[in-house]
Amino acid sequence: MCFLLQDILKIAGLLTSDETKASWDTLNTNDKTWSSGTENGGKIKSSSASLLNLFESVATLLVNESFSVETPFIHLNRTQLKNKITFNNVFNTSMEIDIPEARESQFITTIVFASMDNVLPPRDEDNSSSIVINGKVVLATTAAKIRNISITSGILNDTLGNPKCVFWNFTLFDGLGGWSDSGCSLLSHNNETISCSCNHLTSFSMLMSPEIIEDENMDDITIIGVGISMASLVICLITEALTWKKISTNTTSFLRHVSIINIAVSLLIADIWFIIGAYFRDDSKKEHPALCAVVTFFIHLFYLAMFFWMLASGLLLLYRTVFVFEGGLSKTSMLVIGFVLGYAAPLVIAVTTMAVTVPSHKYIRQNHGCWLNWENSKALLGFLAPALVIVAINFLILLVVIYKMVSRRGLRNTGQGKEQHVLVVIARSLAVLTPFFGLTWILGIGTIIAPQNREVNFAFTLCNSLQTLAIDSELYCR
């Protein structure tokens, strides 16, 4: 029987080899498409899950004898229940299974797979796209009633973090199956091994992902920087209110200060929501996902509004410099355009982003605080794309304005002196803010590409927390 079983396992093991991974990926993708919107009916709809289910069926049909079968891809062991079962250097990893209430009158079957991660997709209940299977898949089954089992296993990639102990649940995703942590918990974790505890037997493994950097210094820098900036914004708004009649002497100056006030108000409101969202941890997000989504929406909306008011300021500069200094659009018309651009445009983007991603539960990110998701839905593009486009447009506006101002230097008349001075102030402010914001959000993209890089994360955190100070100094102190 062992020889026959060995041949079967050799053939089955070839189906899990590295050469088959691309085929399994295609099958899993097609299975997902085919199953979408259909009723489960208790049937397994995934090809990869069907293969795993076949192994589980075989494991329950073996005779009650102690034996072991080893093949290049699968290690099967049938033995009497013991308190501790050890696999030493099986597929370059060691493993221990601890069953406190073991009774030697019954048998347990364990199957360790060398490369079942090539077959099973690493999707979990949250359907995260960044996680990977970072341990050997182990199937354990017995006719005995097991209330607790502990498994200690070596990890495959020590550069990953955020471990999660999981088992394969065939009923998830409408019968496609996926990894679930229900009934399983993490006991310990170091650079080499992970210990898990579960209250049932089935096919186990561990999921890990690029580790989210939790650095108290970064959190402190962010909170302190944002707090100082909020206080500065309040002071500047009060100053604007007290000196409004003196500083809004002409149309261009009036519109410039309208932009300043709305940039400050938008940033202040966004920072308030940001502080609220920063204190949402994983547990509170799971308990109150709707509240976290609301916080994320307002952070998204008002940070975008700040960028769009910067764009309005840049377009005002372009209009007054390139086209006309007197006449043209009225003050009321430009004011209406400013408010539509400053608030209506970001509102449309924020609402669209939320409407597209909320139904699939992919609006907010899964880890640390409330903010737009990147891993599963790329919802963060709803902020990054318009923000970086605005930075690029303002940079181009600056080039055009500088050229026009230099070419007109000898043609300026006395009546245009005050307005020309206002335009110079606007241009000087944008010349500082545009590269600063560009650098900040280029670093933000860097944190997405390399989330485990502490230097990039620290630089982004520092720039992000100080960007309001840059706005204050450039817009209010000149």
30 assigned to some structural domain: no
pLDDT in the model for residue 350: 96
What's the pLDDT score for residue 441?
Answer: 66
> Same domain, yes or no, for 195 and 269?
no
pLDDT of residue 257: 79
CATH of the domain at 70: 2.60.220.50
Residues 226 and 325 in one domain: yes
Containing structural domain, residue 85 = 1-24+43-212
The residue from 166, 191, 212 where one domain ends is: 212
CATH value at residue 242: 1.20.1070.10
Domain-embedded: residue 17: yes
In a domain, 35, yes or no: no
Same domain, 299 and 151: no
Whether residues 176 and 229 fall in one domain: no
The contacts of residue 54 (CB under 8 Å, 6+ apart) are: 12
Query: What local confidence, expressed as pLDDT, does residue 296 receive?
Result: 93
Same domain, 299 and 319: yes
Same structural domain, 220 and 152: no
Output 144-148 pairs: Cβ under 8 A, ≥24 positions apart.
Answer: 144/81, 144/102, 144/103, 144/106, 144/108, 146/99, 146/101, 146/200, 146/201, 147/101, 147/199, 148/99, 148/100, 148/101, 148/197, 148/198, 148/199
Statement to judge: residues 236 and 187 lie in one domain: no
- The reply to whether 337 and 402 lie within a common domain is yes
User: φ and ψ at 141, to 5 degrees?
Assistant: -145, 145
In total, how many domains does the chain have? 2
Residue 478: its pLDDT value, please?
47
Question: According to the model, what pLDDT value does residue 9 have?
Answer: 86
Mean pLDDT, 10 residues at a time, over the chain (478 residues)?
77 89 86 55 74 86 85 88 76 78 76 89 75 86 80 80 86 86 85 84 76 60 74 81 73 80 88 83 67 92 92 83 63 89 96 92 77 82 91 84 69 52 62 64 65 67 63 52
Give pLDDT, residue 313.
84
Is 74 contained in some domain? yes
Q: Within this chain, do residues 193 and 230 fall inside the same structural domain, yes or no?
A: no
Structural domain contains residue 37? no
Residues 98 and 246 in one domain: no
Both 255 and 193 in one domain: the answer is: no
- For residue 34, tell me if it sits in a domain: no
pLDDT at 399: 81
What is the pTM for the complete model shown?
A: 0.61
Instruction: Answer for the pair 98, 84: CB distance below 8 angstroms, yes or no.
Output: yes
Q: Is 470 within a domain?
A: yes
Q: Is residue 36 part of a domain?
A: no
Same domain for 208 and 235, yes or no, is no
